[in-house]
Chain A
Amino acid sequence: MSQDKHNPKSTGSDLPSVGRLALPVWILIVAVMLGYRGCIYVDNVGGGLSFRPELYGPYRTMAQLDSVQPSTGGIEEAIKKGRAQFSGAGCGACHQANGQGLPGAFPPLAGSEWVLEEGHERVVRIVLHGLNGPITVKGTKYSSQMPGLPQLSDESIGNILTYIKNSKEWGNETGEWITPADVKAIRDETAGRTKQWAPSDLANVPNK
């Protein structure tokens, strides 16, 4: 850069100057009013200082958001858990994840009359102690046997059966909810049994 060889404060300097008056009060009043209104607004609309990332739109507090959630009713929870436990307990290995079973080997659960039948007495017994003997499902005969799963907890059995009976993907929509208490009642009733059920035995059990 070339050296500037001119006067620092040259003649003809037309720099405007700045006065020394103080800040006018009315600006401060407006600032305070707008600031106060802003704080109230953030408090009302923005969920205050909680900065919750789950709060959107018209919901002002987490309590309010929780209060408007649809009541899941136990059945939704049970279906959700049952879906996960279905594969975890190994049911899908035979009945397949899509509930279609294996033709000739394992009966399907989707659309099966055994599943859609109202009542849970029979299906709980099947899961607890297994099934041995020829059965007909959706017009096809199956003769393999199913082992019992008494080691599963009452809750697991309840959830899995609720899922099987209500899985929308499979087209099963019975609306039945099999609670752990239901399973426990049947387990107590059949306590001591180790033998698998034969279909003819189950036909004698009233399915309520």
Chain B
Amino acid sequence: MIRKNRLNKILIITSLLISIALILYSILRALETNIDLYLTPTQIESGEYNTDNNFKLGGMVKEDSLRQSESMEIEFTVTDFSKEVEVVYVGILPNLFKENSGVVASGYLDKENNVFIANEILAKHDETYMPIKIEVED
């Protein structure tokens, strides 16, 4: 009787360990495939990062760069104070979007025209939901 109990316990523990390993494996694999890189204009230009797929572009909206055409197309420049990237977006901008404050655009890089085509714009905010001012790094 005791032996049978022990065998049962061993079975339960090994099957638990195997399922934990499987679960962890699938979680990590899903993590890998669903990562959105977050790049600054300097990082994009450096060519060290994969910019073939969708990614997130982060930086500051350059002063006086916002152009709103009569269609719903919006263009602006994202800068990190050393390099710049042109962004094109069609749609409504979030309320926290402002020139000279932080922005995160997700989309892809159109390498022929060298513009970033955004399909979503998020104005960056901190935990108090106020627009963030990005500090200039020396």
User: Do the two chains belong together in a single complex?
Assistant: no
What is the interface of chain B, defined by CB distance below 8 A to chain A? none
What is the interface of chain A, defined by CB distance below 8 A to chain B? none
